[in-house]
Amino acid sequence: MKKQINILKLVYPPISNQEAEWFKNDPEVAEVLRESNLYMIVQRHESKFHILNEDDMEKDLRDNFLLRFKFTIGDLTDDVEINLNKLIEAHGINFNDYDFDFELGPKQIRIWISTSDSDEKRVLDWFTTEKILWDKWRGHPAIFGLTNFRKFSQYYLHYVGISTKEDSLTRLVVKPHDKRLRILSNEFPVSIGSRLTDEVILLFFKIEPLEIQVYDENDDINNFIYGMRIDKSKIIADAERAFIKIMDSTYNAQKYNNYPQGKGLLNDQNLTRYGYIIGESMTLVTDTEEIIGDYVSKYHWAELADMILIEDENVELIKAENLKYSNLYRK
């Protein structure tokens, strides 16, 4: 018997539609985004950083080497503290070897370093309003506060898409993308005074399969020992249809009502059962459904994540409190 959990992991922090237009011309960012073949277009209140008192900020920097500010999304507000001593330690540099400069704005914070014998500066670390959430749920050692990060990382899902012949960056951003343009043309901002391009967020995923095999006398021993190769394109195509089927996202006109049946999917791979989880601490919501994710790493399993589970012809969303992953492991 063979079971498989497919984990959706972001290849890069969530980026706004506006940021995508900037980042597509950055070779380093573009290279990372091109690792993705499954993407989602979501929306949420615009997020911002707020430095409330510049005098207090300068005192914190001088006395404690801390950056303190407010983080807001809609009516939600939380306190954030970046411990620059922890940040320096994490980057493995010596405080006394560098001069520091700070760029503080409502959408981005950048920490620059330079040496006294050079005019050249480089970025030590940076945080957009979306990246700081990604860093928080991934356990960034220098970020304190932001205890409401799970409430901040709830997104309304407009569209799920895949790139079969090219990467997600090219498919979604570089080339004109029909659904992205329709969303920007038809939807309204949810925050007064915000631009839609700052509320629309792009999620770039890759899929990491986790296989579980239980051998019995009817199985092919070679498949058990060496594993069965599954074409990655089938996993990507199957994942897209699974999320569309369950989430019923508005801008996905094709609903795939016959899923899990279909050509080029996982239904012909002799899997006893298989499922999908979001391996990031975010929640996706539509008019009819909600799916909760949880960060997955080699040190942490997604105990809070809901799962889309497929067995025979049945496709269902199992909430984490009812799951305990026993449905996947049982014979």
Segment 312-330 mean pLDDT: 75
Assess whether pLDDT exceeds 70 at residue 217.
no
Task: Please name which of 79, 39, 45 lies closest in space to residue 202, comparing C-alpha atoms.
Answer: 39
Cα(78)–Cα(152) distance, integer angstroms: 9
In the predicted model, is pLDDT for residue 329 greater than 80?
no
Quick: pLDDT tens for 117-146.
777 899 999 999 999 999 999 999 999 999
- Residue 216: per-residue pLDDT: 47
Residue 162, CA atoms < 13 Å, CB-side half-sphere: 18
Say how far residue 316 (Cα) sits from the centre of its chain.
Answer: 22
Res 83 pLDDT > 90: yes
Burial of 292 (C-beta count, 10 Å sphere; 0-12/13-18/19+): buried
- pLDDT tens for each residue of 12-33: 999 999 999 888 888 888 899 8
Residue 158: CB atoms within 10 A of its CB come to 22
Residue 230 — pLDDT band, cuts 50, 70, 90? confident
Confidence of residue 271 (pLDDT cuts 50, 70, 90): confident
Query: Smallest Cα–Cα separation from 301: which of 273, 271, 324?
Result: 324
Look at residue 328 and tell me whether its pLDDT is greater than 60.
Answer: no
- Give the tokens for residue 321: 């409190």
Chain mean pLDDT for the chain: 89
What pTM value is reported for the model? 0.91
Q: What is the pLDDT of residue 178?
A: 94
- Model confidence at 9: pLDDT above 50: yes
Q: How far is CA 71 from the centre of its chain?
A: 19
Q: For residue range 140-156, what is the model confidence (pLDDT) as tens digits?
A: 999 999 999 999 999 99
Largest CA distance in the chain: 73
pLDDT, position 200: 97
| Buried-exposed string 188-205: b where 16+ CB fall within 10 A, e elsewhere | ebebeeeebebbbbbbbb
Total H helices, total E strands in the chain: 13, 17
Calculate the CA dihedral of residues 184, 186, 191, 196 and round it to 10 degrees: 10
SS3 track for 84-118? HHHHHHHHCCCHHHCEEEEEECCCEEEEEEECCCC
Six-digit token string for 178: 């029909």
Please give the average per-residue pLDDT across 248-272, as a whole number: 92
Return the pLDDT at 211.
Answer: 62
Q: Pairing between strand 273-278 and 121-128?
A: unpaired
Measured distance CA(306)–CA(279) in Å, rounded = 10
pLDDT of 325: 52
Instruction: For residue 224, count other CB atoms closer than 10 A to its CB.
Output: 15
What is the helix (H) or strand (E) element at residue 196, kind and residue range? helix 196-199
Residue type at 288 in one-letter notation: T
Is residue 218's pLDDT more than 80? no
